[in-house]
Structure formats: C-alpha cells, structure tokens
A and B are shown apart, each in its own frame.
Chain A
C-alpha cells in the first residue's frame, strides 16, 4: 500500500494557511445534506461534533457512556500547552513545535506538529470564550505552569482538573448544538464496525448497550475519536471502559495502524496495592514542578523516609539530568524509576515505588502555596493510600498512561480508508515515540475544533458520494459479523471470567512489551498471546443474553480485540530494532543506559496493514524527513 501523507508544499510556516485556502469548501446551504458520523465524545469527538454542527452539517455523535461528559478526557489533570509566550520566557510557535518533535524523539511528522503548535494559541482563546475557568494571576490574566520536557512556562491549567474543564467546555458547545438540532447524541451506543462501500467509509454498526440492539448508520464520512488503547495492559491510568475496539475494527477493514508499540508509561502513578487492583491512578506530572524524586542510596534500606538523612538519599533525576532535573520527560523519568527499583532501591511494599517528596517546597514556599497548587491531588492520594503527603512523601511508580500509536492518518487526518477520519489519541499523528505533558489536550482540541472542520469539508466537497442505504450488502454483512461475534462470546460457556483473561493479557504485555523490551521477551509474548486467545475463545464465561444491559459481554468484545491487538503491539516492538521515546529495546542502549535511536534505519512510521485472519500483517513505511529540525540525540542532561 502506498501511503501518501499529503503534506502540502511550501515552507513549514505557511503550509497550513496555504492549505486552508487551497481546500474546497462546502456551500453553507448544502452542509445539512451531509451526515457525519462521529464516534466518541471526548475532547476530540465533542469538539469536532460541536464545530461541524455549528457549520451546519448533520452530525451524529456516538458514545458508549451515559453522557458525552463522561469521556476519559475528563480525567486529564495537569494542563494544556499553548505557545502564547505570556511569560515572556522565549516561547514561540517554533519552540513548541521543536519541543514536541524532540520530546517525541524525532518520530513524528514535522508538518502536523508545526500546525499543532500554530493552532495551540487559538484553543486557549476558544476555551476562555466558552467560560473555561483557567487559573489566573491576581491581575486577572491567565497563569501558566511548567511541565516536563520544556524549559518555558506554557501550560494553562484549571487546578488539577484541566481535562474536566476543557471537556465540559466542549460538551457544553456540543449540547448547544443538540439544542439547535444540528447534532444528535447517541449515548450508551458502542461502535462495533466500520462499513466500507466501494472503498470509502460510509457507515458504522453499533450496539445499544441497554437493549442490545444492533443498528446500521449511513453517513458521508466517519470520524473516529475513540481514544487510546492503554487498557491492553489491563492496569493503566485509563478509565475502565477505554478500549481499542473501534480503531482495531477499522484496522481490520483496511485502515493501517501506525506505530502500535509506542505507548507511554507515566512516571507518577500510585503503586499497585494488591491483586484486586482494578486500575492505576495518575498523580499529575505537574507535581514534579515542586516535588523531588528520590530513593535511598543503599539497596534494601527500609527505614521510613524521614529517618533517612539527606546524604543517604539519591535524588537520581537531579543527579542524572541536572538541567531538567525532576522535569525530565516522561519516558526518561519512568525508565529511571524502573532502574532504581531493579537495583533493589525501590520503596514501599514489594519495592516497586520511589518517593516524590514535598518537604523542601513546603519549607520553601509554605504549606498554603503547596495546598493551592496541588491540594486536590494530595487529597486524592490520601484517599487512595491512607497516607498524608503533607507529612509523608508520596510513593509513586510508572504506569501505562497514553498511547502515541494509533490509526495512521494523512495531513488531513484521514486514514488509509477514504472518508474515515481519526482524531485525538486514536490517531498516531503528533507525538512520535513519546508525548510531552499537557500536549494530549492540545492535540484533541486542535484536531476537533480547528482541523477536521476544514479538512472534512474539503473531502466532502471534492468527493462524489453515491447514495448508499442501510440495505446495502456491506451493511448487512457488517451487522451479521457483529452479531456473530456477540453470539459466539455468549455461546462459549466456559469457566473463566473476562477480567481474568484481561488481567493475564495485561501481565504478558507489561512484562514483555512494557518499559523495557527485548527480542527474546517479545518473541515469548508472541507465543503466549495466541495461546491465551485460544483459551479465551474456548473457556470464557459470559452470562446473560445479548438483548439486555450486559457489562460482561461489553467487556468480552473489547478484550477479544485487545487479545489480537496485543500481538500487533509486540510485532511492531519486535521489528523496531532501536530505542526511541517510550519504546526501549534493551539491545539498543548507550553505555549509560540511555535510548539509542537508529535514524538511518528507523526514521519512519511503521504502518501495519491487516492481511486477513491468521496471516502476518504487512508492514508499510512512511519515511519521516526532517527539513526544519536537526536530528539530534535527545539530551536532557
């Protein structure tokens, strides 16, 4: 398959503005004749639905939640980046662009990232106009904080609930369109397949989660904004319902999947407390602005934190990366935590934890300032662990948090299936091999508010779309497939629950495709996964029927996809014989244990193409060329 990224010609700085002029427009009177199916209602989905509704398109927005406001964007804590340079500290569009490219370890597409940086400032304007209560200075102007991987202060925030406030902004814009009649929201409705007619995405199949009813929906374009696949690992900071089903089923229908092995392990999460653990909780990276990360100098030191004198502590991030210190990017901070724990210097039960200590900043800034900055995060920590972080240092450990990989898209955010567009975390586009903090919210809203409303118009205006009805054989076949899968899951009647399989899958992936990956480990995982999948399809137990609210059945469908998708992740990780960003191959590291990239061989997007049941997927490559940044070894020392 030839992958054309369709990056416009011309200098980086004018690509997007030139492209906006070159794109075709849909006459305002004709827009209501185009029906757009948007799957997902998080930042990307809700903002896209609102913006397209405002323009006058007929939009259907599907969410498996009971309300669009529940989407997992709501849980983002820290903030959103924008190149406003309000702090006069040397920020610019170019610097945000550069930081993002470098943070992603030079595995993202220049033109997309530049556009993201360009749009970032508009997002803040838009959100403020919607009434998003960003934090402000006493003079009434917007406040900023610093975030990992940057040396300027460009992160806008609303306490520790930035994602919530941004999502509620997008949700209110969406609900306004519902009232105006341009958008219809379909809650508790899960997408099970994309329908492709004559090579174009023309519809989806959904299952209503309360009645179990399968339905066919026709549209002129389909937009997937269905988030990431971090829950492949079972334990992650993702919400329980996050899954890969929509993007994986699109992959099986011909959309190529970009860099599935690029997953982000977030350094600051609350450690696991027991076997029953259902998910992991993130403590915002913003904590690293003030908190100091350390472990005891000596392995096996089990004294409580306060009994360990300063001279016997190792502030390892400050030691190893003096210029970035505790604000080293996520992949580096995570790996460093793993290293010290592997050396037996971890703290807490099982030795899988490091301290994040606020004693110094509390002394320096006063407890009120710390309370003001992080109060709600400290409360959350105390609720979960029963320990008071004002008194005892927090214990943190890395956990799966975000997936940079996703469906491959071109500059217009269209996948390799014409008419199928992919936004936000669900696509692979902007973060390369590692995402910087406060950039996910930026990307979700850039895609939804400011990119897709233009590029989708261009697609509709320049494409001749024939009339398609739900009785088309492609719709009938897709619905039959979806029904067959539901029936099959219910018919197994084995002895193991869905969660038990999901946990086992998670352990395999965390062990072999987590923070450190090796050839032997990945090969082992590729042996284990098909076995587990076979067992799943022969020994799963799902009770109840398909015609009712059946949460175990919903999960089973998602886990079935994770089981196949996990293999794709491992295959991708195995083929990428280099270390970059979140992908760390133990065979490829420097003498100091830093990631060793191989730009000669791997400066490309690995875009995997489904080849059919039981066949090895086909690897397509989109070469990445860097014309505006110098390919450098990432250094945060």
Chain B
C-alpha cells in the first residue's frame, strides 16, 4: 500500500523544526512501523537526504527506546503497544500519518524524533530503589509475599520508562512513571522502610525536572504501552500526603 507521512524534522536542539512530507510507496501490511521508517530512510539516503533520526533498539516493546507521537497519540493507535510493535496491517492504503517527537519541556528534542529523557533517570536516582548493598541479602524465601501482592507489584514494575505518559499528559506530568516505581516498591515488604522518603524525594525531583503537576486527566494510563493503571497515582498521592504530614509533625 501507499502512505503519506508527515514527519517532524529538526536538525538539532536549537534548530527550528518543521514537518516534511514523504511518500512511502511500498508498504507491506506485515511490516512494523519502524521497518517502514527503515525503508524510507534507505530511500532518503540513496537520494542524498539525511535519514530521519529516531530512538529504537529491542523492537520487542520492552527496552522503552522507541518514542514517537503517531497522529497525536504516543506510540500510535494500537492499545498496549509500543510503536516498534505496531504493524502496518492496521493502516489502509492512501492514509496520511503524522509523526512527531514527544512534546514536553522536560524532554528537549535532540534531533528529529529523538528527545532527551534523562530526567526520568534522575527521578529514579532520587529514590526509585531499595537501599540494599550487594551481599547483604537474606535468604530469598525468608520473607513470603502473597501472590496477589507480588502480581500487583509486577503490574507496576512493568513500566518501560518510554515517557509516553508524559507525552500524553496535557500537563506533561511524569506522575504515572514516578508512581509506577513507587507502587512497585511500596507494595513489597522490602520496600517499606524507605516508602515515605521515596515518595517525597521522587515527587520533588519530578518537580525540579520541570514536569507538570498531575490533575488526574488519565491520558497517561490510556497511552501507556504496558497498561499501568491510574491506581498507582492514587497510591503515590497517599504515600506523599502521609509522608509530608509526618514530616511536618517532626519539625
């Protein structure tokens, strides 16, 4: 099939970007979305035009590298699917597709569709861990954890750090990302000692990185390729509230 692609081109962080229209002439329905871009890039290079830069790596929906708005939706129209796993059989001949980078103040554009998501690492640095040094661990089965509990922790732990939640949010908030990590660790017995500090420190870092505040639109969860639910945000809010009240008491 034939498709028309309107793709955001921007040469560098400080350059002015613009949409450029390309025609993809031979798109197979079995191709992945990124394979379609690969083919386009091959053609561009043969014509002497610089290929479109985009982040990608595993192409299995797990590394979280790929990141682009497809017709205004992070990762495109298919639910629970990263753009690398989106296949062209979901499109029809003659359609036009608009492709843009993530848009958020905390994610500056590096080139074309590539943005800098380092802010997410810094949120993890602020508290997205259990402080246990290597070699200190007790026998793994010494702390039983209910299957339901670990399953819920796993639901939250599936976050791939792609940033789709930020891109989808009208406030460009990183609340779903932050809350997923806080929930994963906060549900487990091992995560209890640092639960309050974690909530406060991660939220503060999120603010420092210029992510917006959360006003419960819920677009983040809709866009999340791993279906992380809004209840993680409720949990983080509860932890944060409890922690800040306690902090006030101790002053």
A positions within 8 Å CB-CB of B: 47, 50-51, 54, 65-72, 74-75, 84, 86, 122, 124-131, 133-142, 158-159, 161, 164-165, 168, 171-173, 175-176, 178-179, 185, 187, 210, 239-241, 273-274, 276-279, 281-282, 379-380, 383-384, 386, 449-450, 453, 495, 497, 499-500, 541, 543-544, 548-549, 551-552
Docked-complex contact A67 and B117, CB < 8 angstroms: yes
Tell me if B77 is interfacial: C-beta within 8 Å of chain A. no
- Inter-chain contacts of B244 with A (CB < 8 A): none
Bound complex: CA of A379 vs CA of B49, how far in Å? 37
Bound complex: CA of A65 vs CA of B185, how far in Å? 25
Docked-complex contact A133 and B157, CB < 8 angstroms: yes
B186's nearest neighbour on chain A, judged by CB, is: A131
Docked-complex contact A541 and B63, CB < 8 angstroms: no
Write the nearest CB–CB distance from A452 to chain B, whole angstroms.
11
A276's nearest neighbour on chain B, judged by CB, is: B35
Bound complex: CA of A176 vs CA of B57, how far in Å? 25
Tell me if B21 is interfacial: C-beta within 8 Å of chain A. no
Docked-complex contact B141 and A72, CB < 8 angstroms: no
In the complex, which of the residues A47, A72, A548 contacts B63, with contact meaning CB atoms closer than 8 Å?
A72
Q: A67-B117, A128-B190 are in contact. Are A384 and B57 (CB under 8 A)?
A: no
- Inter-chain contacts of B130 with A (CB < 8 A): 129-131, 172
Docked-complex contact A159 and B139, CB < 8 angstroms: no
Write the nearest CB–CB distance from B113 to chain A, whole angstroms.
11
In the complex, which of the residues A124, A141, A497 contacts B42, with contact meaning CB atoms closer than 8 Å?
A497
Docked-complex contact A70 and B141, CB < 8 angstroms: no
Q: A66-B55, A134-B150, A171-B124 are in contact. Are A75 and B134 (CB under 8 A)?
A: no
A65-B57, A384-B32 are known contacts; what are 12 more A-B pairs with Cβ within 8 Å? Answer: A128-B137, A130-B190, A131-B184, A135-B150, A136-B144, A136-B145, A138-B146, A164-B158, A178-B121, A187-B118, A239-B63, A549-B111
Docked-complex contact B134 and A173, CB < 8 angstroms: yes
- Inter-chain contacts of B141 with A (CB < 8 A): 84, 86, 141-142
Tell me if B230 is interfacial: C-beta within 8 Å of chain A. no
B144's nearest neighbour on chain A, judged by CB, is: A140
Docked-complex contact B38 and A548, CB < 8 angstroms: no
Provide the B128-144 mask, 1 if CB < 8 A to any CB of A, else 0: 11111111111111011
Main secondary structure of the interface of B (DSSP, over half): loop
- Inter-chain contacts of B81 with A (CB < 8 A): 383
Write the nearest CB–CB distance from B27 to chain A, whole angstroms.
9
Bound complex: CA of A54 vs CA of B133, how far in Å? 7
- Inter-chain contacts of B191 with A (CB < 8 A): 131
- Inter-chain contacts of B188 with A (CB < 8 A): 131, 133
Docked-complex contact A72 and B57, CB < 8 angstroms: yes
In the complex, which of the residues B60, B86, B140 contacts A128, with contact meaning CB atoms closer than 8 Å?
B140
A-B residue pairs, 6 tightest by C-beta: A140-B144, A172-B129, A129-B137, A125-B137, A128-B140, A239-B57
Docked-complex contact B65 and A278, CB < 8 angstroms: no
A-B contact pairs, 15 of them (CB 8 A): A70-B63, A86-B141, A122-B137, A125-B138, A172-B129, A173-B129, A175-B121, A185-B121, A274-B31, A278-B32, A386-B89, A541-B46, A543-B45, A548-B11, A549-B114
- The contact size tier of chain B is 35 or more
Bound complex: CA of A240 vs CA of B57, how far in Å? 5
- Inter-chain contacts of B161 with A (CB < 8 A): 67, 69
Bound complex: CA of A403 vs CA of B205, how far in Å? 40
Tell me if B216 is interfacial: C-beta within 8 Å of chain A. no
Provide the B73-95 mask, 1 if CB < 8 A to any CB of A, else 0: 00000101100011101000000
Write the nearest CB–CB distance from A236 to chain B, whole angstroms.
11
- Inter-chain contacts of B139 with A (CB < 8 A): 125
Docked-complex contact B45 and A130, CB < 8 angstroms: no
Docked-complex contact A552 and B45, CB < 8 angstroms: yes
Q: A70-B63, A141-B141 are in contact. Are A176 and B42 (CB under 8 A)?
A: no
In the complex, which of the residues A127, A134, A241 contacts B57, with contact meaning CB atoms closer than 8 Å?
A241
Docked-complex contact B147 and A138, CB < 8 angstroms: yes
In the complex, which of the residues B30, B128, B131, B144 contacts A274, with contact meaning CB atoms closer than 8 Å?
B30
Docked-complex contact A543 and B121, CB < 8 angstroms: no
- Inter-chain contacts of A179 with B (CB < 8 A): 125-126
Bound complex: CA of A239 vs CA of B84, how far in Å? 12
Write the nearest CB–CB distance from B128 to chain A, whole angstroms.
6
- Inter-chain contacts of A173 with B (CB < 8 A): 129, 132, 134
Bound complex: CA of A122 vs CA of B154, how far in Å? 22
- Inter-chain contacts of B36 with A (CB < 8 A): 276
Bound complex: CA of A142 vs CA of B143, how far in Å? 10
B117's nearest neighbour on chain A, judged by CB, is: A66
Within 8 A of A (CB), among B1-50: 11-12, 28, 30-32, 34-36, 38-39, 42, 45-46, 48-50
B48's nearest neighbour on chain A, judged by CB, is: A543
Write the nearest CB–CB distance from A576 to chain B, whole angstroms.
31
Write the nearest CB–CB distance from A285 to chain B, whole angstroms.
15
Docked-complex contact A67 and B59, CB < 8 angstroms: no
In the complex, which of the residues A65, A67, A176 contacts B131, with contact meaning CB atoms closer than 8 Å?
A176
Tell me if B99 is interfacial: C-beta within 8 Å of chain A. no
Q: A126-B137, A176-B131 are in contact. Are A239 and B118 (CB under 8 A)?
A: no
- Inter-chain contacts of A161 with B (CB < 8 A): 62, 158
Docked-complex contact B59 and A66, CB < 8 angstroms: no
Bound complex: CA of A72 vs CA of B62, how far in Å? 9
Docked-complex contact A279 and B59, CB < 8 angstroms: yes
